[in-house]
Amino acid sequence: MDIKEVPVTQTDSKGKKKKNKKTKKKTAEDAESSGVEQKEEKMEKSESAEAAFPPTFSVSEIKNKQRRHLMFMKLKQEKRKQKMQLKKKKKKEREALGDKAPPKEVPKTIENQRVYDETIVDPEDEEVAFDEGTDEFSAYFNGLTNPKVLITTSDRPRGRTVRFCEQLATVIPNAHVYYRRGLALKRVIPQCVARNFTYLMVINEDRKIPNGMVLCHLPDGPTAHFKISSVRLRKELKRRGKDPTEHSPEVILNNFSTRLGHSIGRLLAALFPQDPQFVGRQVATFHNQRDFIFFRFHRYIFKNEKKVGIQELGPRFTLKLRSLQKGTFDSKFGEYEWVLKRHEMDACRRKFQL
Amino acid sequence: MEDRSRLCSVWLGAETGILKGVSLSRKQAFNFCNTRHLSREQEVRALCWGDPAESELLVGSRDGTVRTFSTEKGVFTEARRCGDPEEGCFTGLATYGATLITCGDCGTLRVWREDSSEPVTELQAGKNVSRMRQNLVHRNQVATGGKETGLKIWDLDKPEQPTFTAKNLRDDWLDLRQPQWVRDMAFIPDSQKVVTCTGYHQVHMYDPSTPQRRPVMEAKFGEYPLTALSLPASGNTVVVGNTHGQIALLDLRKGLVCGALKGLAGGVRALQCHTSQPVVASCGLDRFLYIHSLEDRKVQHKVYLKSRLNCLLLASRDLEDGGTEATDAAAASEEVKEEEDEVWDTMEQVEEAEEKPKRKTSEEEEEPQKKSKKKRKKGQD
């Protein structure tokens, strides 16, 4: 029975305590015999300190839960000890070398490992500059129009969504909230254009919480459909300031680097008036990280030249772009500039679109 | 400029008015624009070859001008005024002998001669025409179709009446009129049949040789309007693209979907299959040019071109062709070396494949022990 295992188990007993995540082999025979062997091995704990050979069994083969737990704890402690020893050694070496020490290694993060995206906009690119200079937002960015936003919801909104819309209207200057009486968006849009609105924002609700947003730039502009998550209304925020005032806030757009990101950044920036009132000391931030856009609204105060204090005011929410459609809202017959195709685009963790 | 334009095997027109040429062998894209002065009025709406030798391109812009671009010289040689911008953009451009055929969005189809600035023939093809295509075998036949305008096939020698007018589908089960919106069409070579794709995600096949004016075959794909259609060189299939960026291969005999080509993120604006290679090029609103292979449905090339692309043209010659003889010779010797490399590569791959199953089945009972024995022995040594 144990003929195959004899050379193995002898080394096993020595190397039992070694971390051996490489060998994950499980054998039925081993399981049976290991129960017997482990008792012996426990007696030999003291001997097993610095064995060189990794054992074949793993902690998960021990059928007794308490013993397994103990073995696992020991394994973890050993690992931690090794790690601390390694760290100490490295630190000593570093101090010993002094100036000649190699630079500190930067840990790998998903943002660091981002796959090279060829659509990242080069600031000096003339073609892209021309494209952006003559696109649908050029009227706003050239100062010809002022934003006027119509905020509405899907039909029959419940409390949370209604409060969210009201708070959004305080955050975005020149925004009006209207009740959606089951009206079709395609009919609402020409009426908005006639009344000089520049944006139509529809907050979609599902099960009493807002979960989607359709942002349509009005004369004939692109329509973006976002998924909203993680909405925090004002009273749910801790350590918040008082309500925001009527001053136009400054807008900060972080990390919109690709061509699609530029389009979305411009779409979000055109919601706010072009000239911010610095007297109000309010700032709205759209921070893009890993294709999620985080919206925050703060009031800041400069204590001295280097220190700033900030107070979070308004609502807080996260957006994820689902589709960008050319033209005003027409989900059936409109042409899409970009559609999120989950299985194709989300397959690689290090590839982002915005 | 000249050698660059000679290298390009794929030509694209962008919304910003730039004519782009892509050389796949060198993996480079070139912009050919008139001056530093770009404008959206020159948005390229239609592209076609000026002559059978493919040395000239005709570029139709939004302001109604048709410019001629010479691939030999790499510059725009001529510009003609062929219509007003109020009448709508070009939906089709073709050449018949020495004449130029243009069709606008409002439905007016005009035939122009070189010398005069007035059209020789002018006909109304309907209220709204989305596309006009020419039969490449019988070049006097032209098909038009649009929103609420059915497919009409015209013979340019007898422009008074269309030779074939298609009838709309039968009323549906509620006796309501079915809406029709022909977006793109193609003539099937070696027969009189015409395939069209509609904005209501249908693909119809019409046969003018039969007395039936309704579609002979109908196929459906997806839920979004189909915007582009192309026929591969190997018959019986058709490639269609829709506004969501989904491209599918449909079989014309049964009307079923054979397969889909993935990769596009935005609406497909133009599709073209190569005349000899089993390759299809697609471009769209997501600013990329994709070249898919029809056999294994994988992306062969993906090129980022910074503006939204409206139309595309493929050269008939080999797509990866460098263009000059010197490169051909070099390519030939490279090919020989590549073949040898390929032989070695395939050999290595087989060995790797043998190793992998060994590792995968390592979780079985007996093998791991033997393996671990081997490993341990090596360690011991």
- Encode pLDDT of A109-124 as tens digits: 999 999 998 999 999 8
- What's the angle, vertex CA B69, arms to CA B67 and CA B70, rounded to 5? 150
Digits of tens for pLDDT over chain B (381 positions)? Answer: 778 888 888 999 999 989 999 998 888 888 888 767 788 888 899 999 988 888 889 999 988 889 899 988 888 888 888 877 777 788 999 998 888 999 989 889 989 888 878 888 889 988 999 999 999 899 889 999 999 999 999 998 888 899 999 999 999 999 999 999 999 999 999 899 999 999 999 999 999 999 999 999 999 999 999 999 999 998 899 999 999 999 999 999 999 999 999 999 999 999 999 999 999 999 999 999 999 999 999 999 999 999 999 999 999 888 776 555 444 444 455 555 556 666 666 665 555 444 444 444 444 444 445 444 544 544 454
Contact A336 B31 (CB under 8 A): no
Instruction: Return the pLDDT at B367.
Output: 45
Structure-block tokens of residue B282: 């697609």
d(CA A325, CA B264): 14
Q: Which helix (H) or strand (E) holds B376?
A: helix B366-380
Cα A176 from chain centre? 30
**Pick from A25, A28, A29: which is nearest to B362 by CB?**
A25
Q: What is the pLDDT of residue B35?
A: 63
Q: Quick check: A337 and B379 CB within 8 A?
A: no
pLDDT given at position B341 = 65
User: Which candidate from A23, A52, A131 shows the least CB-CB separation from B372?
Assistant: A23
Tokens of B105: 């969005």
Closest CA to B227 of B286, B169, B181: B181
DSSP string, A62-91: ---HHHHHHHHHHHHHHHHHHHHHHHHHHH
Q: What is the pLDDT of residue A338?
A: 95
pLDDT of residue B366: 47
Residue with tokens 């008015």: B17
Question: Chain B residues with CB-CB distance to A under 8 A?
Answer: 15-16, 18, 31, 38-40, 199, 223-225, 227, 243-245, 262-263, 265-267, 285-287, 304, 306-308, 362-363, 365, 368-369, 372-373, 376, 379-380
Tell whether A239 is within 8 A of chain B (Cβ): no
Residues of chain A positioned with their CB less than 8 A from the CB of B228: none
Q: Would you list the DSSP string of A223-281?
A: EEEEEEEEEE-GGGSSSB-S---SSPPEEEEE---BHHHHHHHHHHHTTS-SS--GGG-
Per-residue pLDDT of chain A (354 residues; tens, 9 = 90+): 444 444 444 444 444 444 444 444 444 444 444 545 555 444 544 444 444 446 667 888 889 999 999 999 999 999 999 999 999 998 898 888 877 777 888 899 999 999 998 999 999 888 899 999 888 999 999 988 999 999 999 999 999 999 999 999 999 999 999 999 999 999 999 999 999 999 999 999 999 999 999 999 999 889 999 999 999 999 999 988 899 999 999 999 999 999 999 999 999 999 999 999 999 999 999 999 999 999 999 999 999 989 999 999 989 999 999 999 999 999 999 999 999 999 988 888 999 988
Question: If you count them, how many residues does chain A have?
Answer: 354
Q: Using an 8 Å Cβ cutoff, are A148 and A196 in contact?
A: yes
Q: What ipTM is given for this predicted complex?
A: 0.79
pTM of the complete model beyond 0.90: no
Classify strands B65-70 and B56-61 as parallel, antiparallel or unpaired. Answer: antiparallel
Q: Which residues neighbour A309 within 8 Å (Cβ) at sequence distance 6 or greater?
A: A300, A301, A303
In this predicted structure, what is the pLDDT of residue B363?
Answer: 43
**What are the φ and ψ backbone dihedral angles of B67, each rounded to 5 degrees?**
-105, 150
Task: Give pLDDT, residue A24.
Answer: 43
In chain A, residues with a C-beta closer than 8 Å to the C-beta of B202 are: none
C-beta of residue B164 within 8 angstroms of C-beta of residue B150:
no
